[in-house]
Amino acid sequence: MGSAASLLVCNARLVDGTGADPVTPAGLLVEGDRIAWVGAMAAAPAIGPETRVLDAAGRTLMPGLIEAHLHLSYRDVRELPDLDLKCPVEETTIRAVAHARLCLESGYTAAVSAGALHRVDVAMRNAIREGIIPGPRLLAAGRDICSTGGMLDWNGSWLKLGMEGLGIFADGVDECRKAARSVIKEGADIVKVYVTGEGMIFECTAEEVTYTEEEIRVVCEEAHRRGRRVSAHSRGAEGCKISVRAGVDIIDHGTLIDSECVELFAERGVFVVPALNYQIAVLERGPEFGFPREFLDQTLYREELDAAYRNMRRLVDAGVRVLPGGDYGFAWCPHGEYARDLQTFVENIGLTPMQTLVAATKWGSELMRMENEIGTLEAGKLADLLLVDGDPLQDIRILQDRARLSLVMQGGRAVSGPLARELGG
């Protein structure tokens, strides 16, 4: 891993993540782990002989991407036991280490977890922070909190199995409060609560609500008292309403919302991460994984996706921050395809490439409460950045091509890409 005490990147096309028009030719000066200067080349500061110079040769210079719905500990999930019974902690941890590296190599210098097995996220966050393993700066989740009979309670009661890795089952305000405290005790930054089901689990569908507002409220009280975020898995409108009224910060999915939700989300400033690529991939690749057509129809994913595209657009138009993040780790949407979500934001939701890049950088840093440190390229912030061969404003899909990520830098260290090797990475 190379680290340059002082490095001037010159002759780049700057897309700084604020939504401002691109600047060409632009440059950026890294000193230590931070950005000392960024702007038009004409205004570049004088540099001494100790500063290395990297000619970007017209490549796009942009902030590192932020994935907003990451499951580092999921891999090749095809059926429910792959999320639970077949996931001993040792194997799961080793897989998470590989995914963290892949995340960074895919241009994602930070990520928000949407749920983890065991304490894997917390261990990963700490190991990445300490420089023991490469990976994104991570907002770690703990085990999911779910009600008896809720979406995750899929193991038959007669089997007497329990669920040590994926979830904690809690009912009533006292148990919910204790579950939230347990997740915090284990070191998580985010407490995730399951409020509705989902289309592939026919016993607990997308519109079914499995918690009361009071139960969600105590989870939020405990988390917020300790400065943690709360995310709610919620697809249907009713589940979204009670979650947001109860105080959650992040709605994961939110696909089937109504006009009342749009107003409520805007008023409360919640973040929405629809995680659409999971559903898109089920429909596109489901047959390869043995899902019969009738099964795919029964999930109602096609209808849900069409609604979600319209609803996400309505949310953005109402000023709600909707973030890319695609639930990768299932067999049909493997880790490494993270930037596919950006294409969905442009092609299906109808955001401009610039809006999409802001959502994938600046808004992610706001969700992480790291907006003073990362998310945009501004003097004083950490040097988390990409040099991309091509212009993602012309074609957002190029961000899916790792060969075009010439340089991934995190905290001033060149961590991936051919230019990183040139810089001694």
Using alpha carbons only, give the angle 116, 119, 124 rounded to the nearest 5 degrees: 85
Q: Which helix (H) or strand (E) holds 30?
A: strand 23-31
Give the nearest distance from C-beta 326 to Zn ion in angstroms: 9
Q: Which helix (H) or strand (E) holds 272?
A: strand 271-273
Question: Which lies closer to Zn ion via its Cβ, residue 17 or residue 325?
Answer: 325
Give the nearest distance from C-beta 8 to Zn ion in angstroms: 40
Using CB under 5 A as the binding rule, whether residue 9 contacts Zn ion is answered as no
Q: Which helix (H) or strand (E) holds 243?
A: helix 237-246
Residue whose C-alpha is closest to residue 350's, from 392, 308, 302, 300: 308
Stretch that binds Zn ion, among 36-44, 108-116, 167-175, 204-212 (CB under 5 A): 108-116
Give the nearest distance from C-beta 260 to Zn ion in angstroms: 25
Q: In 10 A of CB 306, how many CB atoms? A: 12
Give the SS3 label for residue 257: coil
Question: Which lies closer to Zn ion via its Cβ, residue 61 or residue 275?
Answer: 275
Residue whose C-alpha is closest to residue 104's, from 367, 351, 413: 413
Q: Rule CB under 5 A: choose which of 4, 10, 15, 114 binds Zn ion.
A: 114
Stretch that binds Zn ion, among 11-19, 109-117, 159-167, 358-366 (CB under 5 A): 109-117
| 191: its two tokens | 């407490």
Q: Which helix (H) or strand (E) holds 123?
A: helix 120-129
Question: Which lies closer to Zn ion via its Cβ, residue 71 or residue 217?
Answer: 71
Give the nearest distance from C-beta 147 to Zn ion in angstroms: 18
Question: Which lies closer to Zn ion via its Cβ, residue 9 or residue 152?
Answer: 152
The full length of the chain comes to: 425
Task: Write the interaction track for Zn ion spanning residues 271-310; mark x where CB under 5 A is met and - where it is not.
Answer: ----------------------------------------
Question: Which lies closer to Zn ion via its Cβ, residue 189 or residue 327?
Answer: 327
Number of residues that bind Zn ion (CB under 5 A): 2
Q: Give the distance, in angstroms, between the CA of residue 329 and the centroid of all CA atoms in the same chain.
A: 12
Residue whose C-alpha is closest to residue 65's, from 351, 406, 404, 362: 362
Question: Which lies closer to Zn ion via its Cβ, residue 14 or residue 280?
Answer: 280
Question: Which lies closer to Zn ion via its Cβ, residue 28 or residue 308?
Answer: 308
List of residues 6+ apart from 185 with CB closer than 8 A: none
Q: Rule CB under 5 A: choose which of 304, 327, 341, 389 binds Zn ion.
A: 327
User: Would you say 107 and 64 are in contact if contact means Cβ atoms under 8 Å apart?
Assistant: yes
Cross-strand pairs, 387: 61, 407
Per-residue CA distances from 335 to 123, 127, 284, 405, 423 (Å): 19, 20, 17, 17, 27
Give the nearest distance from C-beta 114 to Zn ion in angstroms: 4
Question: Which lies closer to Zn ion via its Cβ, residue 327 or residue 389?
Answer: 327
Stretch that binds Zn ion, among 17-25, 107-115, 150-158, 165-173 (CB under 5 A): 107-115
Stretch that binds Zn ion, among 114-122, 193-201, 262-270, 334-342 (CB under 5 A): 114-122
Q: Which residues bind Zn ion (CB under 5 A)?
A: 114, 327
